[in-house]
Structures are given as C-alpha cells and as structure tokens.
Structure 1
Amino acid sequence: MSFIAVIKAEFSASLLQSSVSHDPSETTLICWFAAQEAFIICWKQLYVDTRVCVVVWMCFRTADDSATVGTVVVSRMKMGEIEDGEVDHFTTDMHRKCTLVYESSHGSINDKDNVPIMNAVFKNAVCKVYRFQTVDSKWMLVREQMAECTLSFSIPKQLIALYIQEDTCRIQELKDLGELSPHWDNLRKDVISRYDQIIKEYQDTLAELEKLTGPSFKPSCSKGQKYLEFIPINLHTQRMRVTCPRKTDSFYDVVTVGAPAAHSQGFKNGGLQKLLSKYESEKKSTAYQCIYYPPEQTAKAREILCVVSQLQPHISALADQLLQTAQQSSSQPLRDVLKSLEEKTEQFVHALKDELVKSALLALHAARPGYVSKSQSSAPSSPAPAAADPASPVRSDSIPHHKEYDEEEWDRVWASVAKRLNCVIALVDKLQEQDNNNQESAPSRPLADVITSHTAVWWDQLGILVQSLKECVAEVAERARRSVSFVLLQEAVCSTAQGLQLQQRRDAVFSQALAALACGFVMRLYAGLEDKGFLRQLHAVGLVAQFESLLSTYSEEIGMLEDMEVGISDLHRVSFRITEAASEEAVSLQPTVSGRRDRYTVEVPLPHHAFQTLPDELRQGKPLRVLPVLFNVGINEQQTIAERFGDISLQERINQKNFEILEGYYKSLTNTLPSECLPCFQTQTDIKELLDTLGQNVVTKKRKNVEILWLAGMICRRMNGIRFTSCKSAKDRTSMSVTLEQCSLLRDEHQLNKDYFVRALDCMRSGLLAQGEVAQWDDPEAGSVAINKPASRHFYPIALLLVSSHLLVVWLILSLVFLLAKYQ
C-alpha cells in the first residue's frame, strides 16, 4: 500500500543518555495514506536505542475508526536528525478533541498545493494539519498553509520602472511643445526640474530594491523605511484545505497584507483622501500663473494622450498590412484587415473630436512667443491676453481667442483623416466588386490575378491612398499630443511641490495595493483552472476583490485608512490578461506589468498545458476586469475611543460607497451568468438576501458592527471573489479575523461540532497572540470571542477626574508617561 510515513519519537532524557535501552518507550507515529486519504494516529511500544528503532508491528485504521486498513512491520529504522521538510512540531491531546498533529516549515505532506505552477510564485510555505471532530462524531482533517509571494517585490519593482519611463516620456513631451513665450518656458523648465528630481529618487529606490535578498516579504518592523515604501507589508497567502469522510476536499483562500499606506511619509496631516481634497482646493488659488483645468479634464487629457499614442502606430501597422493582404488569393482576409483599420481609425477620430483637444490647441497657440506682440500691435490700447499675463487667473472655459487663429481648422484636420479612410475603403470596394464580376464570368480566377492584371493602376492608387492616410494620422496625432501635453503642463504648473509629493505618495500606496491584488488574482486563477463556471465568469463580468480592513478611525490609523481608500479605488485602472508562458521555468511564470498611471495591465503567464484548456476568450488575451471593494470596521480599543468621543464618518462613507459598487457587480453578474456558475455552499442563504442584510447594516448606527465584515466576506466567497484581510501590519488583528473565519467555515460548511468551536479556535491561534493588541469579535452563532484583553487601562472615567483639577492633572501626566513608554 502506498503511503508516506513521518515518524517522530519522543524519548526521556535518561533513555537518550544511555547507549542501549531495553525498556519500551511509547512513541507516536503519523502516517498519511495517499490512496485512502486517511489520517492515522497509533500508539505502539518500540524498543529504542540511540541508533536503531525497532517496531514489532503496527495496526492501521481509517480516521473515523470504521475499518482496519492493514498492518505494517518496520524494523531497524535509523534514528538521526530530522531532515528539512519533515516534522518540526508535534502535539496530541485526545481529551480536547482538537489536535495539532503536524507542523512543517517547508510545505506539507500533501503535494496538491505544491505543484510547479504554484511554487513559481508562492515560496517558503508553512503548514499545519489539525484533526477536528464533526457533529456526527467523525473526524475531519484541516490543513493550513501560509506562503510568501514573490510578487511582493517583483510587482513594485516593475511599477517603479514604469513610473520612471512615464515621467521620462512626460519630460520629452514637454520639450516637444516647441518654442514658448518666456513666461511659459520658465514654467516648463521648473516642471521638468521637478520630474528630474522624482526620477532620480525612483532610480535610487529601484537600485536599493535590486540589492535585496532573503525573504519575499517586508516585515512590519521595516514599514517606516523609505526605500521599502513601495513594498506591501507582510503580504502572505493562506489556504485552508478541509478533508472530510465521504466528501471531496474543499479549500478556502485569503490574502493577508498590511493596509496599503505611506508609513515612511507619516500621517500628521492625514492620508491621501484628505490630502487630495485639500490639494484640489488649494490648486485653484495658484491658477494665477496658468490655466486651471479641473481634475476630470486633466484625467481626460491623460486618457486622450494614451489613446492617441496607442492607436497611431496600430493604424499605421494595419495600413501596411492592408497592402500586404491585397496580394493574397482570397478576399476575406482583405475584408478583415479593412474592417480592423476602419474600427481603429474611427476610435482615433472620436478621441480627436473632444472639445478639450480643440480648446487646448487654442491655449497652446496663445502661449507661442509671437502671440502677445501681434495682439498688442493690432490693438495697442487693449490689455494683453490673460493667458500671457501671469497676474490674472484664467479658467479653461475662458481661454483667450485670437482673430489670427482659425478655430475651424482643427475640425477640418481630424475630418481629413476620415476622408482619407473613406477613399481607401472605396478603392478596395471597387476592387472587390470587379473581382466579384470577374468571378461570375470566370469563377476560377482568384483575386490575385485581378490585382496582377491591374498592377500599374491599382497598386499605385492604393499605395498613394494608404501612404496619405498614414501621414495624415501621424500629423494629427502629433498635434493632439502637443495640445494635451500643454494641458498636463498646466496641471504641473498649478501643482506646488506638495502636488508632486502627493503623486509620490499615491504611487507608493498603489504599488502596495497592486502587489496584493496581483497575488490574489494569481492564487484565485490557479485554483480555478479546472472550474468552467469560474472561467466563464472571469471573462464575462470579471471578479470582485473584497478588501476587509480592521483599521480604527482614531489617530494615525485614520490616515492609513485614507491612504488605503485611495489605493484600493485606484485599482479600478488595472486589468489582467492571461498569456502562454515561454517555458515552465519559474522565471517565465512570473506576472508582468505594463502601461501608464491611467491604465495598467498585468499579464499572467500559464504553462502550455494549462493555457490550452482555457476558453477561447481567455486564450485570445481578452482584458479581464477585477472590481475592488473595501469594507472597514475598527475592532480594537482605539476604535472604542473613536466611537465614543471621535468621528467615524469616514468608515461609514467607505462602507456605504463600496456596498453600492458590490451591489452593482451582483446585478451585472446575475444578468450575465446563470447561478450554476457560482460555487455551492451548505448554507443555502441567497446572495440577494445577504446583500439586503449588508445594505441594512452599512446604514445602521452600531458600534463595532463586525457583521458588515462577515456578510461582505460571505458574499465575496459565494461570488467566486478574492478575499483580502488587512490591519495596520497584518499581524494580530488580521490573524484573529482569519482564524475566526476559518472556524466559522468549518462549523457552517463542514459540520464542526459546536461544542468544540472555541477549542478549535484556540488550537489555530496558538502562538499568534501578541502583547499590546486588543480586539473583540462577536460571532453571531458562536457568541462573543474576546481576544487578548489589555493588561491595564489608563483611560479612567473622565467624569470622576473632573471632581478635582489636581486629579485631572495627575491623570494626564500618568497617561502621557504610559503612552510614551508603550510606543517607545
């Protein structure tokens, strides 16, 4: 019978000291039967010395004691030091009915989660196996595996390189604006100098990260280091696999990570949400030296710049392909290329028709060196245009007009692109029409013969039209790039040094959030490669990524939550694509990031055999959408202070806003896919009912309403989503949340005996508690579970202290001393 045996003998000190012992010692043996998937614990007497372990006989039975599997005889097993990968820890307690039976720091005895595709991204796994009793007195095996993720560093390093590349391109775009008036030229030089400084800092950071070796995660003690600000804190994956009698294995995944926040920059003035709001209001007051564009218009300018930069080379390539395809013997490829060319050109023209481009061209014209002098010479008594006067503010809706600038010129320019495309279409249609007529008279005559017979005429005409189209598109694209680059120059000019600092802060927070999201997406994709319903959902509506935050709305954690809110929201700009890996080596299976700040794409490579099993939509590289949602409920003692004396409006607003996003995703999911695509659970509560309950809870005034987190997590799992759990450092509060959720899943989905719920929780949490943290979860079914009550409290009832001013002063001094000692 095929099995893997892991043996650990526990000897008394006296036995180990003697060279040979004739006294039997009770030894525990653990065996995992691959064929039966049964976990066995036996006690037999062994004759032991320091060199040899002799086992007379052993009888093995199934985990539920229902049948005898057989006997195994082991003789003369050499005793020595335990090798890496074998048992590191072993405890049994039959009276508690909840036993930690296996622990390893190098994977586990079950290799289902240690296939090469997983090992390429997830490293240094730590495994524990538990044995729990169910309500029908049978036994279940619960296996926890926590692993590091290589994406903790690889994704941020790729992002930093993209930041450097984008800012370098931005500098070149500003230089390509051409000659500007002295006022605008000085402003441009100042902006370029700022970008140079950012690029230098990012290059230094990237160089430091390239030097790092060792673990694939950033510990919480390093969260304040500047060169590690782009790296997520304690990013780990945790999988719980459950094996029950007469039931297939089930697994539950969660990604744990410290809240994405800029710890190195501090939270004295708040987080990103507050700083960005304050920055936008202050930016308007600095518009005296530039043209103020609101955030939505600058965002649109970036989008237009990105679209034009992508479509212009694509159209040029399709135009060349059209000429090459005309030589083929079939007309169908010619129609396909022409259709693609028409679609891309229409998208290009649609972007150019935006009024922002037209107004930006006019503003750029007004910033040219000769604009002011010509205006003054034509009207000496009239004041200089506002755009050229740094003392008068100008808004985008009051851009100066000049009689020498033809505002209709731009309309004629982009319209000329459509005219040239129509000429190409008309010529190809005429060619195909003639081909059809010739085929009616001579069906065997191919299109290539028709083209060959008219080479002197058709090729000259088609080549001239295609070349004219390419030149027109290139010219229009260049003018459009200059115009929107001038808009972005206004934003940079209106931005003080604080604006660029905010951009750096946002870059760092987004880097942490994206690394966590990529880790969760890869883990969920690997787990669902054989799930056709999941793959269908993936390309049809995408996935929901639910971030569970346990930050309080008190003191510095308010700033962390504000950072996290913006970082998670920015993940809307990310899409995923699945590609085929060049090989099955670990380097080829690493995800890669491409794009600009307004849109990023993460490519996830799969081995050939896995890639070929995917649906056509996924193999064709369709962009996959991931919808991030964030729910926060503070649970520690600082949250108690915030709810009694502070403000929790930030938490309430976040929960209500993200509930609406989650509800919208559910409607899209149900309108697109049948319910058969979603996973099945033992608890038959409908998702719609859970959503309604969640909607009621997010508007209910209730202290530490952790039911919001319970409901959001349940909804996420039922919709094939990706689960994330975060607190300040992804340690105490996070581990409390994850272990409680795991025990709840065992109780609700695998019939864990309710009498042993708390015992199972204690078993999973052994060694997790840390000093100084306090949290309390209220499980609606298991009752209140208190966690690590504080050793002492320094916040005494203020009403009592007000009786005497002397007592109040003493209380303040003692509290200050206590806090300083605690945080020091």
Structure 2
Amino acid sequence: MEPRDASTNSLPSSYEQSPNFSVLFRNPISREYTVEGIAVSEGTLFDGNNSDKTLRSTSFVVHEVMAEPAANNIVPMKLMEFWYNGLSAFRNLICAPTDPAISRDDPSIDVLLGGLDRTRSHMFANFNILGKESVASFKKSTEKTDFSKVFIPTNLHLQSLSIRPRSSDTLQAMVRRDVTTVGAFTAQHKGAAMFATRRDYSGCSTETDNEKVPPAGLEFLWKSLPGQTLFDDDAGSSFVQYPPALEKFRAVVGLAALWEKICSEYFTDARAPCETIDGSLLKKLSSDSDVNERRSVWQCMGSLLKDVIKAYGGTASMDQWVVRSVDNLQSTLDGECPHIRSSSPKQVEVERKMFAALSEIFRDILNPDAIDVQGLFFRECIVMSQMITATVSAFLGQLYDCKSLDAVLLEQIRQEGLLIYYESLLSCWMDEKAMLEDMIGGFELLRRIEFVVPAARDDEKLDVNDIRVDYGSRGQMEIRLPPNRHVRQANSGEDLRFNVFPVLLNIGINEEASAAISQSKEDLQTAVNKYYGERLMEYTSKLGVDDSTLAAARADFARHLANSSVPKNVDLLHCAQSLTRLAHGLRFTMCKSAKDRTAMAVTFEQLTHVHQYSNGLTVSEYDRVLTEMRRNGTRRENTVKNIGVALYAFAQEQVEHLPAVYQPPPGTFGKSET
C-alpha cells in the first residue's frame, strides 16, 4: 500500500474547510492512506459471539497532518516581555529607595543587581532575535542547545489524524484525533548550565572518578534549597514544594511590576516612581470612575503581598521593619480605604509609606545563603516558556479549530480545570533525568496560571497575536487567549476563566532506560507515575458517574497504575490516552527531541484510532498500515525537517531495547544526529 502524497503545502479538504486552521498552523505536511477495515452486517465483532456473523470488508480514507503552531514564537515573546518588565520594575525600585536610613552601599545590592542584569540581558537578546522576520520560529532538534532559541519549545507540532469512510466525503462522517508533539521542556543547554548543576548542591567536584556528574533539574534543585514553602495549604497538592526564596522573589517581582503599571497608567510623564510621591497617584486613583478596576488592582496587590508573607513563613519570622512595611502597605490596599479619599497631605504620607514598604520588601530579598535566585528564576522561565507555548498551541488547535464548547464541557473546564496529559518517554538516566526534573518543576508552576478566553463577536476574526500575559486578580500570571465566539454562545456572553489540570506520566523505553532499570534508578519515574496517575483518577472520578465506557477505562487504567513499576510498561500510557480522550482533555507526546521515540509512539496511537474506528483490522493490515505510517508518513518527513536525513536516530542495538510496538521498520533507522 503506497500512500498518496498530498504535497507538503496542500491539505485534505476536511482541513481546508476548517475556518481557522490556516491561521493557527503553518507549513503543513499531509499523507493519505486507504485502509481496508472489517465490519459486520449486524452486531459487532467484539460482542463475544462472532460465529454467525457475516463479515464484509470496508474501506476507509486516513489522513495524517503535521503542522507547526503559529504561536510557536508569539507566546515566548509575550512571556519574555512580561518577565522582563517585571524584573526591570524590580530593579528600578531597588535602585530608588525613599528612606534615607537604607544604605546605598550594601555590597549585596551589587550582587543582586548583577544577577538581575544578566537575566534581563539574556531575555532581551532572545526577544530581539525572535522578533526578526528572518529568524525561523521553528526550533529543530539540532538546535536544542542554541541559546538564541532557548525559550522556544523543540520540534513543536500538531499531529492530526482524520478518518472517514471512503464512500463519504462529508465532514459529519469524519473522526479527527489530535495530539501535540514536542521535545522535553528543559533548560539543559550551554547558556543556562551555569545556573543549576547537581555539583553545586551535592559537594561533588566536576568529575568523580572520571565519571560525569549528572546535571540537575528543577525538582532536584528545589528540594536542595532550605526551608519549606507555605504557598499550598494542602501539603499533598504538589509533587514537590516550591522553595520559599523563589516564592518570595516571584511575589516581589509581581508587586514591583504591578506598582510600575499603576504608576504608568496614572502618570503621563516619564518620571521615575520615586519622583512622583506627591499624593497625586492616590488622588487620581480615588477619582477613577472605574471602581471595579480600582478594586481589582488592590485585590491583586493584596494577593501578592500575602504570598510574600507566606514565603517568609509568616510575620513571626519577618524582620520588624519588614513587618511594619507590610502593615503600612496592607493598610492602603482596599479600594474603599479612607486614606485614599482624605486630604492631599495625607495622600502624600500614605503614598510615601507604600513606596518605602515596597523598597524595603524588595531589598530584603537579598539572601544570606547566597542562593542564585535570579539564575533559578531564569531557568524556570525557560522551562515555563516552552511548556506554556506547547499548552497554548494545543488549546488553540482544539477550541478554535475543531471543537466547539457545549454547556457541559464548559462547566467541567470551569469547575475542574482543563485536563492536559503529557506522555513522556524519557529515561531516568543522566541528562534525561534532569529534563524530567525540569518538567516536574514546570508542571507545579503551570497549575497556578489562570487562562482567560474572552467572548468574541460573531464577526470577530481570530488573531494569534491577540494573546496577552499579565497579572490576574489573584496575583498569579494570567494568559488571555484570543476571543472565541463559541465561548460567547455557550457561556451567556461571559469570558471563560479556568486553570489547567496537568498530568505527567513517564515511561522510559530506550537503552538508557534499560540502564536505569538495571541499576534500580527509576525511583523518580515510579513516584511521578503514582502521583500524577492518582491525579488523573481524581479528575475523572468527578465526570460521567453513569458513563460505563468511562468507568471501564478508569478501571483499566487503575489496573495498570498498580503495576506501574513493571519495566517499560507502555500499556499505562495507552490507557491514559483513552481516559484523557473520554475526559475531553488535551494530549501531548514527548521525548528528548520529539523526533524518534515520539514518532514511534504517535504512529502507534494513530493506528489504534484506525483500528477502533474500523471495528478492527486483520493482523496483516494492522502491520501494513503501521509500517507505512512509519516508512512514508509525516513523522519520517519530520526527521528530514530536523536533521536533513530520512532516518530515525536509532542504531540496531538501540532498537533492540525498544518495546516491540515502538520499533521502526527495517531501512528507516540508523545512527544520526538527534
């Protein structure tokens, strides 16, 4: 069976008729196959009684499409601008104290400013590079260590499969299944390696007995820092607790950014905030006709201030001056506060206290333990940029291109969050273990972000550039997606606000996974699968109480979860795929580069959908279709796109370590660049 190659720039009619596909995705590559399925004249092959069934062959047309999300460089640029502005505001306030008792000669100030300036310069350089039209937004797997593209996810693609009976050309008869493929979210590259190494926290030298010291990821680094954060009221709600030093840093950067935003919105000149302490800011705020907006500003500042106090471990562990500063600031944060409506001299006094409080809180971030807070923050930003970009790209593809919201699904997303399932094929060995640790850290931060989908007018056109990043009313990052008319129709004209419910399951399948298994170094994978597997069970337990299909899928997943320590138990991943689809979640598949192991995984998943849709394939047809997808499909083309060679990067001895269903056909693999 030779697939018909629908050229790299043309699409099947089902995608061409999708109104937003060309807006959301670029450079599509498509392949078309005809598959011979098996059907029965009555009943089904799977009812346990096939002896009297009359079988007949049925043909299906299968399309696979691989395309680059348009948000691939737009989202990183929005995020870098957001973080850069926050760090700049923080720097401005540190450098402009209003209380003469605060020494300007503190040498630790120079250390802090030096770290801030390094981080800001890295972001600024990346932002400028991505903004050039001549720079391709797609990041090849060979560019994993390219510092100029460090904020972009590696090899990010929509992988879409559509199936329809050959006798029908209607969209109604088509089934579409999407998965987003992407390389590991990680800061393991030359430019950021200086910020976080396992050596720095283990006391090891660069080399130990001529053996390479393993790199460290965020999860390892967070656990190595002193103290326990009080951010989460429920200690069991996080896989790893976020360090207080970083919690405090994030909160005060947020306060600084919000304060500068307030000043810039109420002052038209370019004076620095410290030069505007004349009562006019509060006077203008008090006369603002938009009471709700004013109240929202104070609510956001209040939430951030509470995060600062939690990061300190409560007021009991705070310096007396900082406590007094916090109290002074807190007294102004209510929009109905009498101070705001009092005379001008009182406004000057309150405004000066607010600024002094902010300045003192920011200066107190200086850490006596010499933790490289800015470096770790920068590393987190890299991981978060890659993860948020992939998540937003998948959500745009699902909601804006092929899925409309109904009231039930809308309520599910609003109440329980949007389920996103990341399927990872990384090993727990050396560099890949650090990548897994980075992703764990990113997931803990991703849960805090609030996403907003504004309600759009019927005539409003989709523009990916409409994505906005800001601080929400709860003090956490808020990402506003482009307006969507489905939201207006299903949500009574109101915007949709939600958080994501991330699930990460990891099964290492390569030769490095075999090494980790042989040396009993899979503890991290076991812990990750147990924690996030239970979260997936928790999420799906709240859906479809009377849904027998969902109940069966949950039971199947629970059975494999109980055996998650079985070596290379990829069945756990397959069960999670089915459960996520039934729960209307988003699907992601990833490995180190999203090129080789990922190709084997998504082609097997595609074949599973074809098998289910056609009521079953014969053994010979099953093997034939899988081989054709891997030999002539879009994922083989992906290898050319990344490394210029149509080869999956496996040596023969590496193939032998892969599970049978993930082994490439002969002639399609060989030693090559990853």
TM, length-normalised to structure 2: 0.74
Partner of residue 277 from structure 1, selected from 214, 223, 229: 223
2:623 to 746, 754, 758: 758
2:558 alignment counterpart: 692
Counterpart of 1:192, as a letter, is L
How far residue 493 of structure 1 moved from its aligned partner, in angstroms, is 3.8
C-alpha distance in 2, partners of 1:355/1:131? 57
Q: Deviations over 1:174-217 (max 9, x none)?
A: 13432344487432243223312322222222222223536541
| Structure 1 residue aligned with 2:84 | 164
How many residues end up aligned between the 2 structures? 583
**Aligned position for 2:575:** 711
Give the superposition deviation at 1:130. 0.9
Change (3 A) 1:170 1:789: farther
In the alignment, is residue 504 of structure 1 matched against residue 378 of structure 2?
yes
* Shift in alpha-carbon separation, 1:787–1:492, aligned structure 2, 3 A: farther
- Following superposition, the deviation at residue 355 of structure 1 comes to 11
Distance 1:358 1:553 in 2: 33
TM-superposition CA deviations, 1:437-476 (whole Å, max 9, x none): xxxxxxxxxxxxxxxxxxxxxxxxxxxx973399979965
Tell me which of 143, 151, 168 is aligned to 1:230. Answer: 151
Preserved contact between residue 119 and residue 375 of structure 2 (Cα < 8 Å): no
Q: Measure how far apart 1:688 and its partner are.
A: 3.6
- Shift in Å at residue 555 of structure 1? 2.2
Other-structure match for 2:522: 648
Partner of 2:174: 249
Q: Residue 599 of structure 2 is aligned with which of 735, 752, 772?
A: 735
Letter in 1 for 2:3: L
2:476 corresponds in structure 1 to 599
For the 8 Å contact 2:455–2:488, the answer to whether it is kept is no
Letter of the aligned partner of 2:648 in structure 1?
A: A
Q: Secondary structure of 1:515's match?
A: helix
**In 1, Cα distance between equivalents of 2:311 and 2:181:** 47
Cα gap change, 1:236 to 1:585, in 2 (>3 Å): farther
Write the deviation string for residues 692-742 of structure 1: whole angstroms up to 9, x where unpaired.
3354234xx311111221122111111100101101110110010001011
Q: CA deviation at 1:512?
A: 0.8
Structure 2: gaps (5+ residues): 40-56, 198-213, 230-242, 267-281, 637-646
Question: Contact 2:456 / 2:487 at 8 angstroms: preserved in 1?
Answer: no
SS at structure 1 position matched to 2:154: coil
Kindly provide the CA deviation profile for residues 74-97 of structure 1, in whole angstroms up to 9, marking residues without a partner as x: xxxxxxxxxxxxxxxxxxx4xxxx
Are residues 1:106 and 2:9 paired?
A: yes
Spell out, residue by residue over 1:198-240, the C-alpha distance to the aligned partner (whole angstroms, 9 max, x if none). Answer: 2222222222222353654111111111111111110000111
Matches of 1:629 and 1:190 in 2, distance apart? 38
How many Å apart are 1:655 and its aligned residue?
1.3
Q: 8 Å contact 2:449–2:478 — kept in the other structure?
A: yes
Mapped to 2, the partners of 1:355 and 1:590 lie a distance apart of 31
* Counterparts of 2:332 and 2:381, CA distance in 1: 40
Structure 2 match to 1:260: 185
3-state SS, counterpart of residue 692 of structure 1? helix
User: 1:260 Cα deviation (Å)?
Assistant: 0.8
1:600 counterpart letter in structure 2: M
One-letter amino acid matched to 2:555: E
Gaps of 5+ in 1: 1-92, 94-98, 284-291, 325-336, 361-393, 424-464, 794-820
Q: Report the CA distance shift for 1:263/1:347 in structure 2 as closer, same or farther (over 3 A).
A: closer
Q: Secondary structure at the match of 1:124?
A: strand
CA displacement at 1:279 relative to structure 2: 4.3
Query: Closer, same or farther in 2 for the Cα pair 1:172/1:114, shift >3 Å?
Result: farther
Cα distance in 2 between the residues matched to 1:623 and 1:116: 24
Alpha-carbon distance between aligned partners in 1 of 2:224 and 2:394, rounded to the nearest angstrom: 33
Once residues 248 and 223 of structure 2 are traced to their aligned partners in structure 1, the CA distance between those partners, rounded to angstroms, is 16
- Report the 3-state secondary structure (helix = DSSP H, G, I; strand = E; otherwise coil) of the residue aligned with 2:379: helix
CA displacement at 1:644 relative to structure 2: 0.5
* In 2: Cα distance, 1:792 partner to 1:410 partner: 62
Q: Any idea what SS the aligned residue of 1:134 has?
A: strand
CA gap of 1:414–1:753, structure 2 versus 1, over 3 A, is closer
Q: 1:736 to 1:822 in 2, by over 3 A?
A: closer
| Contact kept? 2:423, 2:589, Cα under 8 Å | yes
- Partner of 1:385 in structure 2? none
**Following superposition of structure 1 onto structure 2, how do residues 652-663 of structure 1 map, counting pairs within 5 Å?**
652-663=526-537
CA contact (8 A) 2:298 2:333 kept: no
For residues 334-384 of structure 1, what are the alpha-carbon distances to aligned partners after superposition, in whole Å with 9 as ceiling and x for unaligned?
A: xxx6xx599759957975995966999xxxxxxxxxxxxxxxxxxxxxxxx
1:573 positional shift: 2.8
For residues 258 and 353 of structure 1, what CA distance do their matches in structure 2 show?
Answer: 36
Deviation at 1:751, TM superposition (A): 1.4
Query: Which SS does the other structure have where 2:68 is aligned?
Result: strand
Using the size of structure 1 for normalisation, the TM-score is 0.61
Q: Is the 8 A contact 2:87 2:120 kept in 1?
A: yes
Deviates more, 1:769-778 or 1:134-143: 769-778
Q: 1:134-153 residue pairs with structure 2 within 5 A?
A: 134-136=37-39, 137-153=57-73
Greater relative CO (CA pairs within 8 A, separation 6+): 2
Closer, same or farther in 2 for the Cα pair 1:635/1:172, shift >3 Å? same
> For the Cα contact (< 8 Å) 2:469–2:477, is it kept in 1?
yes
Which of 712, 724, 736 is matched with 2:588 structurally? Answer: 724
Q: Are 2:469 and 1:549 equivalent residues in the alignment? A: no
SS at match of 1:257: strand
Amino acid at match of 2:26: K
Which residue number in structure 2 is paired with residue 124 of structure 1?
27
1:818 match: none
CA distance in 2, matches of 1:395, 1:578: 35
State the alpha-carbon separation in 1 of the partners of residues 507 and 616 from structure 2. 27
**Which is worse superposed, 587-596 or 170-179?**
587-596
3-state SS of the aligned residue for 1:104? coil
3-state SS, counterpart of residue 752 of structure 1: coil
Asked if 1 retains the 8 angstrom alpha-carbon contact of 2:451 and 2:481, the reply is yes
Distance 1:215 1:611 in 2: 32
CA distance in 2, matches of 1:596, 1:182: 31
SS in 1 for 2:447: helix
Q: For the residues of structure 2 that align with 1:471 and 1:622, how far apart are their CA atoms?
A: 43
Q: CA deviation at 1:170?
A: 0.5
Percent identity of paired positions between Structure 1 and Structure 2: 22
Structure with greater strand percent: 1
Task: Supply the AA of the counterpart residue of 2:186.
Answer: A
Cα distance change on mapping 1:157 and 1:505 into 2, 3 Å? same
Deviation of 1:546 (Å): 0.7
The answer to whether the 8 Å contact 1:240/1:742 transfers is yes
Q: For residue 627 of structure 1, give the secondary structure of its aligned residue in structure 2.
A: strand
Distance 1:642 1:789, change over 3 A: farther
| Worse-superposed segment, 147-156 or 245-254 | 245-254
Residue in structure 1 matched with residue 412 of structure 2 by the alignment: 537
Q: In structure 2, give the amino acid aligned to 1:250.
A: V
Deviations for 1:311-352, whole angstroms, at most 9, x for unmatched residues? 998998895466x9xxxxxxxxxxxx6xx5997599579759
Query: Cα distance 1:586–1:775, how it changes in 2: closer, same or farther (>3 A)?
Result: farther
